[in-house]
Chains A and B, each alone.
Chain A
């Protein structure tokens, strides 16, 4: 078995250690002797390179980089990503990437920056004077992830407030922290097998069950059969996660 993972714009969308998510996915596959190919897709990549991938990942970035990426996404690559996600390819979109996949981002001056429209969400800038939502965060994953008996921990750092539409469910419920907007206790979004979230940390190292969920879904979809992944020793991950939970 092998997996092809698309890592979108690693040179631009990698500001907050999010490459750790790719490292975790790749290692957890290697440790199970499953081959993986990480395809780095950037501005100069042709959109064809996205065809046939089994898992999609995109990290967060600074505003300027996000502008550059947005322009590129609005061309062919965005269409292919939407097609793949709608075909149930699993995906993980962090922070700025999460916002992009939504309908739009409304800037402080009212300008609407269109997103890909994949997720039924919208993000609004609360104005330059409003505080950023920053800090360690603990969330309880939603029902479809109830295979997890653990809470999920991470670190959020975002100005934008995201609101979910009627057609999508949140990724998780906030236990401690702000989440999507600091108001409705939702965090992130789930659409088919794609997850959008504000959690840095990065999210996968301390929450390996989520990494295995993404890997499992990708393998099942590709090989059209139930896949049971060999269990790995995640004691260290649990210790690290416990530490953050106790801190809060």
Chain B
């Protein structure tokens, strides 16, 4: 076991030296191929708390928030690198942080896992805790359908009797599956006073009761299918004992981030006994992470990056853009590489109509699809209203050259975000 770690670490260092990428997945790939029980054995050998974060949107922010609070308390935490949310990513993280004796001298390991990996990773070890954030349509060509994922999760998680679960109870599908879990379940949601929506918008998935199939009634809606719900046909309804912080003060914008904050706060309170006062005091020091409202300066202009990979995420990002008090100009970057999802049909489920009064630039591999989507928001077919550039570098610089004082927001899909950051920060980062 230690041998595998040493070997993999050596390969990792050689790889870094030869600049063969970031080593965030392939050292783990090697370790797992040498010993398929690598993950299992790691957690038999090392006694640290393990936290899995799963869900369509918000994993990175939630994981980063938890790590942030725990480190403030003096705990040593590891967290898997950006995008490495498959089994090989978890394994690579372990290799990176293990010493040469194969020991992980840390208190907590946090793994963000993608929708398909969650059922696989819990076969290797029973985690201390699992956070389920939400389930939105995302990359249907890769993940399949939301209902299928939920059922797979239910099957994989329900018998983990020693695991603590932190579930977004405003998501009817997640609430429903958690009812069959044998482990302890705690619920978080959004402060009801902040839920102003009443009508279900278009980017919605689970509005039918997951138990009996009747259409759910919502008394309040946060966004998409998240809200306070009740089934008129059976007993499924929002639980009363639901954690949500009041008067949250944070640098993170958007209702979706309030969910991430509630999830992380509930977990650190219950699992690590961090008091609410400690959380609230430190929350203002937490800054947005990679591509998630990350603020960068480039050519003296302030640029905010917003990652979006599915209708729910993009619609939420648009709301953030619309809530700015200053004037905004927008760059939309759409790619269709593997991490973005190869099918770009989902952009038609995003309400771009709301941003057509802003100066807009478009780029990315599928810039013309995005431009088409915008064209069809207009009352007249004026396709010169927004500027489309195949070259991302050109689009960013043109945007800066042709707008004056506006704050710049860049909404991009995953691989596009990597490229945007590379350009803005001037070097290869991942």
Contact check, B369 vs A240: say whether CB atoms are below 8 A apart. Answer: yes
Q: How large is the interface on B (under 10, 10 to 19, 20 to 34, 35 or more residues)?
A: 35 or more
* Minimal beta-carbon separation of A157 from chain B (angstroms): 5
* Minimal beta-carbon separation of A155 from chain B (angstroms): 4
> How many A-B Cβ pairs are below 8 Å?
100
Give CA–CA (A62, B135) in the complex, Å: 14
Contact check, B345 vs A62: say whether CB atoms are below 8 A apart. Answer: no
Give CA–CA (A6, B346) in the complex, Å: 22
Query: A243 contacts which of B346, B366, B375 (Cβ < 8 Å)?
Result: B366
Query: B208 contacts which of A16, A31, A68, A243 (Cβ < 8 Å)?
Result: A68
Interface set, chain A 193-242, CB cutoff 8 A to B: 200-202, 205-206, 232-233, 235-237, 239-240
A236-B345 contact, Cβ under 8 Å, with A157-B141, A243-B366: no
A233-B381 contact, Cβ under 8 Å, with A15-B137, A16-B140, A155-B343: yes
A243-B368 contact, Cβ under 8 Å, with A155-B343, A233-B381: yes
Residue in chain A with minimal CB distance to B368:
A240
Contacts of A12 in B (CB 8 A): 208
Interface set, chain B 355-384, CB cutoff 8 A to A: 366, 368-369, 371-373, 375-376, 378-381, 383
Contact check, B345 vs A23: say whether CB atoms are below 8 A apart. Answer: no
Contact check, A201 vs B366: say whether CB atoms are below 8 A apart. Answer: no
Contact check, B372 vs A233: say whether CB atoms are below 8 A apart. Answer: no
Would you call A114 an interface residue if the criterion is a C-beta within 8 Å of the partner chain's C-beta atoms?
Answer: no
Would you call B7 an interface residue if the criterion is a C-beta within 8 Å of the partner chain's C-beta atoms?
Answer: no
Query: A64 contacts which of B147, B215, B349 (Cβ < 8 Å)?
Result: B147
Residue in chain A with minimal CB distance to B378:
A27
Contact check, B200 vs A11: say whether CB atoms are below 8 A apart. Answer: yes
Contact check, A43 vs B215: say whether CB atoms are below 8 A apart. Answer: yes
Give CA–CA (A30, B375) in the complex, Å: 13
Interface set, chain A 50-71, CB cutoff 8 A to B: 62-65, 67-68
Give CA–CA (A20, B147) in the complex, Å: 23
Would you call B232 an interface residue if the criterion is a C-beta within 8 Å of the partner chain's C-beta atoms?
Answer: no
Would you call B305 an interface residue if the criterion is a C-beta within 8 Å of the partner chain's C-beta atoms?
Answer: no
Interface residues of B (CB under 8 A from A): 137, 140-141, 145-148, 200, 202, 204-205, 207-208, 213, 215, 342-349, 366, 368-369, 371-373, 375-376, 378-381, 383
Given contacts A134-B342, A232-B381, 5 further A-B contacts (CB under 8 A): A17-B349, A155-B342, A201-B345, A202-B345, A243-B366
In the A-B complex, the 8 residue pairs with the smallest Cβ-Cβ separation, listed nearest first, are A20-B348, A17-B345, A240-B368, A17-B348, A62-B145, A155-B343, A200-B345, A239-B368
